[in-house]
Structure 1
């Protein structure tokens, strides 16, 4: 065990002190494009639900189930499959998740009835839910410590281009058809096909050297490390190459009982239950909020699409902030700004102000999202990193699944202001637990942040 720990520490230090090279950039692009279609799938639920409500007269229960189905699947996927990357490796888990959710998204495009669409959105969500824990763990594993936040933010920025892209695609397709195919079905097909293309790109990525060392495969870890040091692509395996040694099993429950990890798990659990109200509460219900205020569907989709331009812009703005601000404090500052801008979006009277505060809300939410995704992966050890992130992050998916059943009744009965007041309270709780328990992580080695 001492030899194993020494190898992991040595490889971690070498990774942390590398200059940014071609392989790092390749990882950032591949992960970013993969997450593009993960984000696309998440926000697709809102577009489909708004369209089906107006064009197919769905009742309230079916609408809520459709909004919730993807998030329930994501809860299961994040909790059950997020830890898959700690057992079979980051790279294999990436590929499995992409195949899974693209297949079910494609099947969903041929749904003959609302119940079938709800079922396929749930099954696609299982694969989608596992993507972020694996991506967070992989990026945290391989990026140098001084550039970890900045480069991860670029990967997330690639992904969030999906939000305005989907917004404008929805605006163009929701009331139209191509060759007799309704636009909402085409949106599902586009997501599935794109995910398959990204899967082909990801096949060339090396495995995480940190993960290989954590499971006792030191020779493989050094070979993968060499790819990051030289920028060379992985060599193809010979046909008669022996199978790699099996991973050394880690008991995640026992591992995560060692202090300070129980406290960090508890912190992230409460944080994720509450932060979803701010992040996904806006993203999935923005169009419905505007409809409730008297705007027609076309105007609501247009205002929402313009507001959604803030997602990639905010994500890009997080890049310089990572270099200047401690991550813990950046999480707290963005929560406060997100609460203020969201409340203003719900209450301002003119379309111009609606778009302005919608843009500021989405921009702030993606600074927030980028920071906490990097932060949550940094505060757990390599051998259980994806498992811990998957377990805690899954609670945000469960919370998001409950949002339609909590926030839509408040919206219908009391209005947009009351709905965003509920969001404000939830965000206050999220900020409180991070301020109380969260460690500082910026520019620190992962083995220093996680000493046991």
Structure 2
């Protein structure tokens, strides 16, 4: 039995849940920062007299950084290792978030938001790749969706910080709290092993065998077949961007890029602007923060439900179903109404949209082999970030006028329905298959 087979047949145990917690906390801190800027924007708009276009550019600048970070970090993770890049990108965004609290004008904040985005964009696909490469095939979907569920915890933390801190201590304090994750890097360096698949692809079979032997010992596995090849015989695998467009990967790449673009466009267009949009509808800032906090809570059951379905009915059906229902919810949310109706459709929109996010992060790294897995995931995320760059600016221009709210959410309804159709018609199912089977 080869090393990869030994890894995949390990019983689910303490190590897998520890890895989920360690990578998940990094994911949570990412989401906390992303959420904080959404709550800070309406306050900044009043304090700095910002136009809606300027507010949109602040959101877009962070997403531009995420696009650049996703590409560079994905490439670096396939070259230097998942663990190192995960820690470095987490450190970059934490420090840059603290600098945002020191921003003295609009232009300086744009620069710092780009740096924050760079770290955020680099960390997310690398963490998902690391979790996917250590998860057993039968539980891989559940583990990666649960990893993504930490995003909901981060947004919830952002909502709580904004509700409890910003009205009383100012927006700067919210950014300073967002810098705390820098301390977490040191824990990551000790707690997270390098990816076994990455080590094997780089010809470091002895290091990979040592990690697996330790995991087997911790899991109580005493009888295993040792690898049938020499530990010195592995050769480092090469990787190239062009391979994403090889005949066997071209369709997968196109589908992933389209879906990532649409899901990021809709998510950041909706949720980056949500507090500001509700303020424009006449709600006070404090009441807006309260409503968005309730809507954010709906993200968590959305993730958990997607984690339940993704290994049962499959990635393709779960993703298409959640995207379509997110579209329906966005349409009715855009029609407005009394607070109870707004909260109902807003919560459903949050439930299904974030459930879909959990599935796309499961699905993406499964479609590429180890040598280009982080590269492929990084590029898909980067293309998505360009959707995120565009969306806040588009919303900033569309929201003017008495029917702006309806127009914005009608647009997002169309985008979500389109990518749901792409997944359903062109997506490839990966449920229950090993990473080697899928990429062969």
The TM-score normalised by the length of structure 1 is: 0.90
| C-alpha spacing 1:333/1:195, structure 2 compared with 1 (3 Å) | farther
When structure 1 is superposed on structure 2, of 55-64 and 21-30 the one drifting more is: 55-64
1:424 to 395, 413, 427: 413
1:68 to 60, 79, 91: 60
Describe the SS at the equivalent of 2:430. coil
Matched, 1:91 2:83: yes
The TM-score normalised by the length of structure 2 is: 0.92
Matched, 1:357 2:349: no
Partner of 1:272: 260
1:289–1:346 Cα contact (<8 Å) kept: no
Distance 2:317 2:217 in 1: 35
Moved over 6 A (4+): 244-247
Deviations 1:70-119 (A, max 9, x none): 11110110122222111111111111111111111112211122211111
Matched, 1:404 2:392: yes
2:330–2:410 Cα contact (<8 Å) kept: no
When structure 1 is superposed on structure 2, of 196-205 and 418-427 the one drifting more is: 196-205
Distance 1:400 1:246 in 2: 41
| C-alpha spacing 1:228/1:417, structure 2 compared with 1 (3 Å) | farther
Deviations 1:219-244 (A, max 9, x none): 11111222332338xxxxxxxxxxx9
Partner of 1:153: 145
Partner of 1:189: 176
Deviation at 1:198, TM superposition (A): 4.9
| C-alpha spacing 1:227/1:347, structure 2 compared with 1 (3 Å) | farther
Deviation at 1:202, TM superposition (A): 4.4
| C-alpha spacing 1:247/1:359, structure 2 compared with 1 (3 Å) | farther
Describe the SS at the equivalent of 2:141. helix
Matched, 1:370 2:362: no
Matched, 1:142 2:129: no
| C-alpha spacing 1:247/1:344, structure 2 compared with 1 (3 Å) | farther
1:212–1:218 Cα contact (<8 Å) kept: yes
1:94–1:131 Cα contact (<8 Å) kept: yes
Partner of 1:312: 300
Deviations 1:333-383 (A, max 9, x none): 001110111122221411112112211111111211111100011010011
Partner of 1:439: 428
Describe the SS at the equivalent of 1:261. helix
Distance 2:179 2:235 in 1: 32
| C-alpha spacing 1:424/1:73, structure 2 compared with 1 (3 Å) | same
Matched, 1:225 2:212: yes
Distance 2:271 2:53 in 1: 20
Alignment of 1:22-421 (within 5 A): 22-177=14-169, 183-231=170-218, 248=236, 250-413=238-401, 414-421=403-410
| C-alpha spacing 1:416/1:138, structure 2 compared with 1 (3 Å) | same
Deviations 1:17-48 (A, max 9, x none): 22112111110000100000111122222112
Residue-pair matches, total: 427
| C-alpha spacing 1:124/1:246, structure 2 compared with 1 (3 Å) | farther
Distance 2:352 2:56 in 1: 27
Deviation at 1:251, TM superposition (A): 3.1
Deviation at 1:247, TM superposition (A): 8.4
Question: What is the RMSD of the two structures over their aligned residues, measured on CA atoms?
Answer: 2.0
Please, which runs of 5 or more residues in structure 2 have no aligned partner?
220-231
Distance 2:234 2:74 in 1: 19
